[in-house]
Amino acid sequence: MLNTVVDRYPFEGGSLVDIDGAHELFERYPEYEAGLRWIREFVTQPDPRLNRPGAVCPRLAPAIRKNLLRLIVIRTARADVDEAWEKAGHLADLFLELFQRPEEFRTGSLLAFFPDIDRDGAAEFIDGGHRRLRMEFVGRGLMLGEFHKLSTVGSVRNADFPVMRSPVPMFAVRALTTHDILFLDQPATPEADRVRYLRHYLEHLGDQLSPDTRAEIERSISSPELVR
């Protein structure tokens, strides 16, 4: 039933599966087994290097518990940034089609795996693709996460903790949350991009913010220095 959706996208037919049925595809897609083991042993667990309580990613455990985690395979020929943009950009459409009900949209997650990409050479495709795609996803109320074996992306509270380092290359898609201001309002982000991120954030989540928080973000947008 799930895979009738895939025909409209440049994804591998027969690869779309929910978390409860993923084990049936482990032989065909060993990346699923490796990725889900990493999620179970690391992502859904606490780690003192985070400098905060709770799991590395608090969002995934509820998605797994409610069977709202989906996995998909994307085949690649060139594994460059252009191909990431051409193919992985459709993950936003797939997510919105899979999770149409409000609760499913808020809780669901979509993981995309790339079996044809060398695990030690995925940085250009994953990191470069993420830089090119992220604004488009945020503009649609979504966050795009980038993961690969040699990632150097650090935790928000500990830049020396490479929290996005996974055994297999993947992208993760989920709904934007109020917590994501920590990722979108970063001093290292170019000013024009930072303003656009904040405007998208207010567009999708402004009604969930307190008046003071909303006013503070609006001041950041209007200030040339973007002082928080």
Domain boundaries, the chain: 2-176, 180-228
Burial of 112 by CB count in 10 Å (0-12 exposed, 13-18 middle, 19+ buried)? buried
- pLDDT value of residue 127: 98
What DSSP element (H or E) covers 147?
Answer: strand 142-147
- pLDDT value of residue 225: 59
Distance from C-alpha of 12 to C-alpha of 72, rounded to nearest angstrom: 7
Distance from C-alpha of 184 to C-alpha of 139, rounded to nearest angstrom: 12
- pLDDT value of residue 60: 96
- pLDDT value of residue 142: 98
- pLDDT value of residue 1: 59
Per-residue pLDDT of the chain (228 residues; tens, 9 = 90+): 577 788 889 999 999 999 999 999 999 999 999 999 999 999 999 999 999 999 999 999 999 999 999 999 999 999 999 999 999 999 999 999 999 999 999 999 999 999 999 999 999 999 999 999 999 999 999 999 999 999 999 999 999 999 999 999 999 999 999 999 999 998 889 999 999 999 999 999 999 999 999 999 999 898 745 444
- pLDDT value of residue 37: 98
Assign residue 199 a region (left: φ > 0; alpha: ψ between -120 and 50; beta: otherwise).
Answer: alpha
In this structure, are residues 144 and 172 in contact, taking their beta carbons and an 8 Å threshold? yes
CA distances for 196 relative to 75, 88, 138, 188, 226, angstroms: 31, 21, 9, 14, 12
Distance from C-alpha of 44 to C-alpha of 57, rounded to nearest angstrom: 6
- pLDDT value of residue 175: 98
- pLDDT value of residue 135: 98
Place of tokens 């998909």: 72
- pLDDT value of residue 213: 95
In this structure, are residues 75 and 12 in contact, taking their beta carbons and an 8 Å threshold? yes
Count other C-beta atoms under 10 Å from residue 8's C-beta. Answer: 11
What DSSP element (H or E) covers 174?
Answer: strand 170-175
Query: Crossing angle, helix 191-205 and helix 129-139, to 10 degrees?
Result: 40
- pLDDT value of residue 223: 76
What does pTM read for this prediction? 0.95
